Amino acid sequence: MDIKKLLSEVTAIQGVSGQEGNVAGYLAEQFRPLVDEVTVDKMYSVIAHKKGAGPKVMLCAHLDEIALMVSKIEDDGCVRITSVGGVDPRILPGSRVWVHGREKLFGTIGALPPHLMSAEDRNNNYKMDKLHVDLGMSAEKVRELVHIGDLVTFNTPFTELANGQVASKTLDDRACVAILLRAAERLQRMACDADVYFVCSAQEEVGGKGAQTAAFAIAPDLAVVLDVDFALTPGCGPDVASPLDAMVVTHGPFVQPKLNKRLMDCAAAHHVKLSQNVAGRSTGTDADEIGASRAGVPTVLLSLPEKYMHTSVETISLDTLEEGARLLAHFVSELDASWEDDLWI
């Protein structure tokens, strides 16, 4: 599997929360050679099943992306926007975007120049209602091609950086979907008793609904959730972020502590470097919804450090991605009928 090619392709596909059909179809095809059965559910979550006689384990990473949506068309043809998921308006001025109307249209996001702002406005951050997409068209033409509710996505290419790092939109969380695919590829060459469900969940960015419904349908014995976490950058210290070169395990009330120790012991046994994090309340990931599904699912969270989260230049280390896949494959392959002997009191 060519991870760079996979990431380049999958990050370019539109898959905004609630409208993930295109990216779900692509990922279903990527999983088919690696598992026994692949389905796409009513939420657009991809569920890839590798059958086994052992414990039923759900491995989950979300496939949806944050984006924008058309909220109004002005009389001069400019398109007003609102966010789908957590989009920070401060990063938007000057962005290149695609407007997914009757045609796929190129646009740029503009804002009032600082020269024309009051002193008070210059001291404040940009707000969404002050921004617009310029398509370079008349209002009549825009209204012919664009409608309220049409999606607007970032137009930024997948880019290779130095030292095995890459930058793109939508690496949150399609880089972790790549970890699932790489782990599935590894498990083909390993002894594995577990009954494994690889889930690419929908609507995580708006509340984890895809993971919630998939976990209800699967009823797993245990789950591993993969998502991104904050990587160290200037101004973002070690109290809130982790080094880019190691996967992260999280401790907290939504994480089963003994299962978490098993994951950490597995990492140590296979010489996989880990960082540790704490989430005193919810994790803000699909782990929260899966853990509370049905009568409860023992769940752990394994995270890929990422710089510049929820921007068009999210940055990860490919080496860390590969190590995450290696750890996940070993962890799953070592699950057997005794997996929960020491889990409960």
What mean pLDDT comes out for the span 186-193?
96
Asked if pLDDT for residue 321 goes beyond 80, the answer is yes
Q: Do residues 206 and 284 touch, judged by C-beta distance below 8 A?
A: no
Asked if pLDDT for residue 124 goes beyond 80, the answer is no
Residues 149 and 274 in one domain: no
Asked if pLDDT for residue 116 goes beyond 70, the answer is no
Residues 257 and 126 in one domain: no
Strand partners, 225: 60, 301
Residues 222 and 183 in one domain: yes
Confidence of residue 345 (pLDDT cuts 50, 70, 90): low
Confidence of residue 203 (pLDDT cuts 50, 70, 90): very high
Residues 293, 296, 301, 307, Cα dihedral to 10°: 30
Q: Percentage of the chain surpassing pLDDT 90?
A: 88
Confidence of residue 338 (pLDDT cuts 50, 70, 90): confident
Q: How many CA atoms lie less than 13 Å away from 216 in the CB half-sphere?
A: 10
Cα distance between residue 29 and residue 265, in whole Å: 34
Domain assignment present for residue 338? The answer is: no
**In sequence order, what E strands does the chain have?**
37-40, 46-50, 56-62, 67-73, 79-84, 96-100, 104-110, 132-134, 151-154, 159-160, 165-168, 195-201, 222-230, 247-251, 274-278, 299-306, 314-317
Cα distance between residue 310 and residue 184, in whole Å: 27
Cα distance between residue 252 and residue 58, in whole Å: 20
| Phi, psi dihedral angles at 176 (to 5 degrees) | -75, -30
Q: Percentage of the chain surpassing pLDDT 70?
A: 98
Task: Tokens for 225, please give them.
Answer: 């959730």
Domain assignment present for residue 265? The answer is: yes
Asked if pLDDT for residue 164 goes beyond 70, the answer is yes
Confidence of residue 271 (pLDDT cuts 50, 70, 90): very high
Domain assignment present for residue 112? The answer is: yes
Residues 58 and 79 in one domain: no
Cα distance between residue 206 and residue 212, in whole Å: 12
In this predicted structure, what is the pLDDT of residue 235? 85
Residues 142 and 188 in one domain: no
Question: Radius of gyration (Cα) for the chain, nearest Å?
Answer: 21
Mean pLDDT of the chain: 94
Residues 77 and 143 in one domain: yes
Q: Which of 94, 122, 154 is the last residue of a domain?
A: 154
Domain assignment present for residue 161? The answer is: no
| Phi, psi dihedral angles at 112 (to 5 degrees) | -60, 130
Asked if pLDDT for residue 123 goes beyond 80, the answer is no
Domain assignment present for residue 345? The answer is: no
What helix, strand, coil percent values describe the chain, rounded to 5?
Answer: 30, 30, 40
Catalytic residue among 65, 204, 205, 306: 204
Q: Which residues contact 207 (CB under 8 A, 6 or more apart)?
A: none
Side chain identity at 147, as an amino acid letter? H
Q: Is 340 a catalytic residue?
A: no
Strand partners, 69: 82, 151
Domain assignment present for residue 160? The answer is: no
* Number of domains the chain contains: 2
Give the model confidence (pLDDT) of 226-256 as tens digits.
999 999 999 888 888 999 999 999 999 999 9
Q: Which residues contact 271 (CB under 8 A, 6 or more apart)?
A: none
Cα distance between residue 220 and residue 228, in whole Å: 23
Residues 297 and 280 in one domain: yes
Taking the CB of residue 89, how many other CB atoms lie within 10 A of it? 18
- CA 274, 180, 228, 334 dihedral sign is negative
Domain assignment present for residue 344? The answer is: no
In this predicted structure, what is the pLDDT of residue 111? 78
Give the model confidence (pLDDT) of 8-39 as tens digits.
999 999 999 999 999 999 999 999 999 999 99
Residues 30 and 75 in one domain: no
Task: Tokens for 300, please give them.
Answer: 């752990």
- Which residues constitute the domain of residue 263? 3-65+169-333
- CATH of residue 92's domain is 2.40.30.40
- CATH of residue 41's domain is 3.40.630.10
Domain assignment present for residue 53? The answer is: yes
Residues 181 and 268 in one domain: yes
Residues 7 and 55 in one domain: yes
Residues 274 and 297 in one domain: yes
Query: pTM here?
Result: 0.95
Asked if pLDDT for residue 117 goes beyond 70, the answer is no
